[in-house]
Structure 1
Amino acid sequence: MPAWWVQSRGEWVLRSGPLADAYADRSLVTRVGTLHADHAAKGDHPRGRSTSSSTLPGLVLRMYQHAQLGRGLHIADIGTGSGYGAALLALRYGNDHVTTMDVDPYLVDVAAQRLAALDLHPTVLEVDATGPLPGEYDRIVSMVSVRSIPPSWLTALRPGGRLVTTITGTWMILTVTRTPNGVVGQVERDWAGFMGARSGPDYPPSAVDFGLLAVVDGEHVGTGRYPVIDVAEMPELGTMYALAVPDVQHRYRRARDGQQTAIMTHPDGSWARATAYGTEAPSVHQGGPRRLWDMLDDVRDDWARRGWTPWLGARATVDDDGTIRLTSGAWRATIAASAP
């Protein structure tokens, strides 16, 4: 991996070498928007979200451990990225047992070339993994997150096969197995976050004007019960909130003077902005049909009352349409199937 992107002072900056950096246990962003680091010049500063990376090696191995891989199994590696994971799989389990796929044609081509240079030749395919998968597999391991389980993954999963993925908007690692009684499994007592699966060259642009929401007055103005936090970066609480209120987008900023601002928006038009210094009670502006910050405070109340995080270790069942149903004692949650 000759080049990658890092963020410095709010903008993306190109980096390359030394080799030791590529072997560090950290994720390296290789593509921002539609610009891959391989194609960039030193003065380029692309805008937008990261769209591909080389996942930190420790997390790659954790996902493979959750998959319970073994010799003789046919493995689907979803999200080729730099090809690092495919290289590990092909080296250990053999070229004929590994299919790696990515939606990005350049990533597929360059990964195949770099794998071949190491005398590794797994099947490398350009595939939109949210659609049909090419073949059937004993193990499906996803290095991208999905909103719910694509039905095509269930179709491609052989009897006794095991599937491992993360769920978009949460920090859940879900492992399920196809059994005679359905697709069942659990949320691992572990967590991880991956980029969301995409079907095109970039994620759709956000219709939300976060600059406007940072200053506009809300229809409802009040005081929050808890300090401002960057909820999207809090695995336990952030996941509980995402299960209670799916599809919320988050923005968080900490100013030089210590002021914290958190903004949340939902596709139904609801929004909230909370601002405070340190641990003081925040001033909260909210608008739209629902009060998103009040709902976050309610989730924090529930979390505090429970004293534990019910989704960790929860039992999971997956319907044919990809709906995920979670249970842990009396606790229940449903992750509805994504629209086709």
Structure 2
Amino acid sequence: MNWEPRAAALAERVTHRSSRWRAPVARTPRHQLAPRWWERGPDGWTLRDGPSDEARWLDAAYSDKTIVTRVSGLHADLAATGDRPAGLPTSSSTLPSLNVSMLQHARLGDGDTLGHIGTGPGYADALACHRLGDKQVTTVDVDPYLAEAARARLDEMGLHPAVVSLDATGDLPGMFDRIVATVAVRPIPASWLAALNPGGRLVTTIAGTSLLITAEKNDEGGAAGRVEWDRAGFMHTRHGADYPPRLAALVTTAREHDGDAIGTGRYPVVHVTEAWDLASMLDIMVPGIEHEYSEDDEQRVAVMVHADGSWARATARADECPRVHQGGPRRLWDALDDIRTYWLTNGELPVRGARVYVKPDGSTYLARGKWRAKL
């Protein structure tokens, strides 16, 4: 299979010509790490098998797109033709440009050791091994199958990082100059700070947001840094084979029932999860909201639900102010409107570019100007 020109073209798209990451991208046979994967269409997830359709395989592997390899508890490697899993993706080969960006944010030096959280198929680890040497790379994943498959496939490429299966929110297997997480966490595990060498650098994202945090370990055992202007989104860390059940019953309530409070919203209905800064600010202020959005020629409908029983439904045409139904102990749509008012009043939301302070126990604080928040 003539994959090398595809990898070289991908490297040209996702790195600049003087980047130290250009050669690793060009040298990595990404298709070998994801021989089977899931594609989502209108009717759900469909299994794709690379060896039986090499043109599709190469197109998928050498595009700058995420390749989903596991949905709910079913890995594509272990699926049968006709399987149609339901649920959320639980492992993937993240789009190459984002993998490169996360590694660039780590500011890796030639002699640095790297702890990578979230092995998945192993693409980021292949890049890191080419850049640093495999003896300087340790990668961990909660899923034993994922770890073993990545180890075997990297080994076939001649790359031999330390690959460990464990829950990364616990103790890590070593001490590192850099830790890069391609899974999202909240809060930052204290074990990650403990595993950083003095002056070491942490790169991670905050679950429920698109916030990318970089921070350097200080003498007190905590870390200080910032929310980068870049945006990044990753799957949340999980502790078992799948994520906890979602709030489907409450979503049904929110779709169909009148609220305890009924009124008119201040602003048009917005697709919150597509408005990354707005969604991130909302999740900092009211963490854990689940969203549903639909739109047709007649109207937009946004639904918000929370595990505490709060819910909201906003319905309107185009840019009209919506009719809003809310129930439960909190008024979720009011919280969203308050953030939008802050945005209009101040010109921007404070969360992007905020300073970050992490205590040794993982407690994380954000600050920008007069604004403060604790994760």
Q: What are the Cα deviations for residues 34-73 of structure 1, in whole angstroms up to 9, with x where unaligned?
A: 1111122331111011101100000000111111111111
Structure-1 separation of matches of 2:100 and 2:189: 23
Structure-2 separation of matches of 1:142 and 1:48: 23
Structure-1 separation of matches of 2:217 and 2:331: 40
For 1:290-305, list aligned pairs within 5 A.
290-305=330-345
Greater alpha carbon shift after TM alignment, 225-234 vs 283-292: 225-234
Letter aligned with residue 114 of structure 1: R
The answer for the alignment partner of 2:314 in structure 1 is: 274
Number of residue pairs matched by the alignment: 334
Deviation at 1:234, TM superposition (A): 1.2
Q: Calculate the TM-score normalised by the size of structure 1.
A: 0.95
Give the secondary structure class of the aligned counterpart of 1:279.
coil
The answer for the alignment partner of 2:66 in structure 1 is: 27
Q: What are the Cα deviations for residues 181-211 of structure 1, in whole angstroms up to 9, with x where unaligned?
A: 5411111111111100001000011244122
Q: Calculate the TM-score normalised by the size of structure 2.
A: 0.86
Deviation at 1:10, TM superposition (A): 4.3
Q: What are the Cα deviations for residues 132-157 of structure 1, in whole angstroms up to 9, with x where unaligned?
A: 11111110000000011101111111
Structure-1 separation of matches of 2:224 and 2:57: 44
Q: What are the Cα deviations for residues 212-253 of structure 1, in whole angstroms up to 9, with x where unaligned?
A: 321111111111111111212211111111112112121222
Structure-1 separation of matches of 2:300 and 2:158: 51
Q: Is the CA contact 2:254–2:305 (under 8 Å) kept in the aligned structure 1?
A: no
Greater alpha carbon shift after TM alignment, 12-21 vs 216-225: 12-21
Structure-1 separation of matches of 2:314 and 2:205: 29
The answer for unaligned runs of 5 or more in structure 1 is: 336-340
Deviation at 1:258, TM superposition (A): 4.5
- 161, 165, 174: which one pairs with 1:122? 161
For 1:69-80, list aligned pairs within 5 A.
69-80=108-119
Give the secondary structure class of the aligned counterpart of 1:18.
helix
1:59 and 2:98 are equivalent in the alignment: yes
Letter aligned with residue 271 of structure 2: D
For 1:195-234, list aligned pairs within 5 A.
195-209=235-249, 210-234=251-275
- 75, 78, 81: which one pairs with 1:39? 78
Deviation at 1:170, TM superposition (A): 1.0
The answer for the alignment partner of 1:176 in structure 2 is: 215
The answer for the alignment partner of 2:205 in structure 1 is: 166
The answer for the alignment partner of 1:338 in structure 2 is: none
The answer for the alignment partner of 2:276 in structure 1 is: 235
Give the secondary structure class of the aligned counterpart of 1:212.
helix
Give the secondary structure class of the aligned counterpart of 1:222.
strand
Give the secondary structure class of the aligned counterpart of 2:92.
strand
The answer for the alignment partner of 1:311 in structure 2 is: 351
Give the secondary structure class of the aligned counterpart of 1:30.
strand
Q: Is the CA contact 2:247–2:307 (under 8 Å) kept in the aligned structure 1?
A: no
- 191, 195, 204: which one pairs with 2:231? 191
1:11 and 2:51 are equivalent in the alignment: no
Give the secondary structure class of the aligned counterpart of 2:224.
strand
Give the secondary structure class of the aligned counterpart of 2:83.
coil
Q: Is the CA contact 2:211–2:232 (under 8 Å) kept in the aligned structure 1?
A: yes
Greater alpha carbon shift after TM alignment, 122-131 vs 262-271: 262-271
Deviation at 1:15, TM superposition (A): 2.2
1:284 and 2:327 are equivalent in the alignment: no
- Write 1 or 2 for the structure with the bigger share of strand: 1
The answer for the alignment partner of 2:10 in structure 1 is: none
Q: Is the CA contact 2:60–2:67 (under 8 Å) kept in the aligned structure 1?
A: no
Change in 2 beyond 3 A, CA 1:135/1:226:
same
The answer for the alignment partner of 2:286 in structure 1 is: 245
The answer for the alignment partner of 1:103 in structure 2 is: 142
Q: What are the Cα deviations for residues 262-304 of structure 1, in whole angstroms up to 9, with x where unaligned?
A: 1111222111111122112111110011111011101100011
Give the secondary structure class of the aligned counterpart of 1:85.
helix
Structure-1 separation of matches of 2:293 and 2:273: 9
Q: Is the CA contact 2:266–2:337 (under 8 Å) kept in the aligned structure 1?
A: yes
1:88 and 2:127 are equivalent in the alignment: yes
For 1:126-141, list aligned pairs within 5 A.
126-141=165-180
Change in 2 beyond 3 A, CA 1:275/1:10:
farther
Q: What are the Cα deviations for residues 106-125 of structure 1, in whole angstroms up to 9, with x where unaligned?
A: 11111111101100000011
Structure-2 separation of matches of 1:11 and 1:93: 40
Structure-1 separation of matches of 2:337 and 2:235: 27
1:264 and 2:304 are equivalent in the alignment: yes
- 321, 334, 339: which one pairs with 2:374? 334
Aligned-residue CA RMSD (Å):
1.3
The answer for the alignment partner of 2:26 in structure 1 is: none
Structure-2 separation of matches of 1:13 and 1:78: 28
The answer for the alignment partner of 1:149 in structure 2 is: 188
